[in-house]
Structure 1
Amino acid sequence: MEKNTEIYGLRAVIEAIQANEPIDKVYLQKGLQGALYKELETLIRKNGISASYVPLPRLNRFTQGNHQGVVALTSPITFHTFETLVEQLGERETPPLLLLLDQISDVRNFGAIIRTAECTGVDAIVIQKKGAAPVSADTIKTSAGAAFRVPIAKVDHLKDAVFYLQASGYRVIAATEKTNQSLYEVSFTGPAAIIMGSEDTGISPSILKSADELAKLPLKGEIGSLNVSVACGVFLYEALRQRQG
């Protein structure tokens, strides 16, 4: 199984970003100063790379060597270009099904979702560059290798991806409790994209407003919501049921 490659040191990480290496996340030591550090921060922002500011002991878990306060993780998979992916899917005879993940931050939830997506015939997964869980070795393991089978695209802003899909003929359905419409009242038979929100806050309000339809799961118990990977599975299997029928 492929694993994340770790890159240590200010200059090494700067050069990796400039060489367009698939940097998934950068960990930066809190309070770091200096010209190279500022250059790295600028590159991170410019390229939309996810970054976390952490204390020194966290960085030391990666290596006891001279990391200079910076550790970058490269992704074990190759990400696809969103627009190219949509164009390619549009050439198929069967209507595409996409899954958009808004700030899913837990790697095991992410891995479980990828696994279910592969099992239900999802054509591609779209995530945002910032705030999303990394495609780490744990993600790959939890997905049972499905991360190598389902194309994953990163975008700067998920809202822009929604608009692009709508302009390309997709119906965008948001999974949310903020509606009276049940999942089972929604059609998934044409080109469709399902949005799943973060574990804590759900789908962001601006993205929710952009969706064509809102749909919720019927819940009979006292607990108000399901784990996001479980809820995603219910949505995807309803889409599969309709598309097979």
Structure 2
Amino acid sequence: MNKTDSEAYRDKKRFFENLLTVYGRKPVLEALQDPAVGVYRLHLAESNKSADILEDIIAIARDKGAEVLYHNRQALSRISKNAKQDQGVAADLVLRGYKTHDAFLKDAAATPFTLLALDNINNPQNLGMIIRSACAGNIDGILLPQKGSAQIDPLVIKASAGTLFRAPILRCTHLATALKDFQQHGADICCLSSHARHTLKDFQPQGACIYVLGNETEGVSQEVEKLCNQRVRIPMNNGVESLNVAVTAALIAFR
């Protein structure tokens, strides 16, 4: 934001930055049915034919105070960013845990938080399962880059079993840049390595710590790996070399 912007403009910009847009009839309905979910706007295609699920969506959205807008298909596709799967419905959600990484840093820089950072996690099912474990466990945030990783879609929502709407998701543009911001505030950046001296069980960070989870096939990228100042390993038996990234996330979340 420009230094000359008014405070009112900055507040408005921050508000819109913290909205999560979801699409698809069933995902939108399930989101609206969650008492913890607020909705700012409901977007509908003008070409939608009458259907019970649409009537339910509209009724719940209005009960929650949402603005209901109708668009042509082209305009709706710009909002959903997925014309093939939006089914004529998208919603801008207000979620307590969904924010930018710098907003989180502003509020929690002095606290010993624990985060998961996702480095090129491309499988939507893995992403959803990671979100579910982090939401249930002792994780204060999931650092999710806008580029290079799977993005939130109906498959992710389904794999998260709805926990996405309550999970602390911290958005950033580039993961390496965000990790540098956290390092400047004293956070340790930790990756998993089979050659590490400390095991995950024995590792005791002294302050804020971010555990990096790498790509399902290639692991942590070189750019991110260079930023890591801590390394831990998970002891393996019976010749097993590694675990699924979602399983690893669960072990970290409940360590």
- Distance in 2, matches of 1:229 and 1:181, equals 21
Q: How far apart are 1:62 and its partner, in Å?
A: 7.0
% same residue: 26
SS at the partner of 1:99?
Answer: strand
Q: Which residue of 1 aligns with 2:3?
A: none
Q: Structure 1 pair 175/75, CA: closer, same or farther in 2 (3 Å)?
A: farther
Q: Which residue of 2 aligns with 1:224?
A: 241
- Distance in 2, matches of 1:118 and 1:175, equals 21
Q: How far apart are 1:159 and its partner, in Å?
A: 0.8
Residue 156 (structure 1) aligned to one of 168, 173, 189: 173
Q: How far apart are 1:186 and its partner, in Å?
A: 2.1
1:62-89: per-residue Cα shift (whole Å, max 9, x none)?
A: 77x9xxxxxxx88867641210111112
- Distance in 1, matches of 2:143 and 2:165, equals 14
Q: How far apart are 1:236 and its partner, in Å?
A: 2.3
Check if 1:90 corresponds to 2:119. no
Q: How far apart are 1:112 and its partner, in Å?
A: 1.2
What is the count of residue pairs matched by the alignment? Answer: 189
TM-score using structure 2 length: 0.63
Corresponding letter in the other structure for 1:158: L
1:134-184: per-residue Cα shift (whole Å, max 9, x none)?
A: 222232232222211122122121111111111112111112335344223
- Distance in 1, matches of 2:177 and 2:207, equals 21
1:14-36: per-residue Cα shift (whole Å, max 9, x none)?
A: 5x4xxxxxx6x658xxxxxxxxx
Matched ranges for 1:1-245 at <5 A = 1-2=30-31, 13=77, 16=79, 79-90=98-109, 95-177=112-194, 179-238=196-255
SS at the partner of 1:88?
Answer: helix
Q: How far apart are 1:220 and its partner, in Å?
A: 1.1
Corresponding letter in the other structure for 2:163: A
* Consecutive unaligned residues in structure 1, runs of 5 or more: 17-22, 28-58, 66-72, 239-245
1:41-70: per-residue Cα shift (whole Å, max 9, x none)?
A: xxxxxxxxxxxxxxxxxx5x777x9xxxxx
SS at the partner of 1:98?
Answer: strand
RMSD of the alignment, in Å? 3.1
Q: Which residue of 2 aligns with 1:33?
A: none
SS at the partner of 2:144?
Answer: strand
Corresponding letter in the other structure for 2:31: E
Corresponding letter in the other structure for 1:230: V
TM-score using structure 1 length: 0.65
Alpha-carbon contact 2:138-2:254 (below 8 Å) kept: no
Q: Structure 1 pair 150/184, CA: closer, same or farther in 2 (3 Å)?
A: same
1:181-211: per-residue Cα shift (whole Å, max 9, x none)?
A: 4223422352111111111111101101101
Alpha-carbon contact 1:129-1:156 (below 8 Å) kept: yes
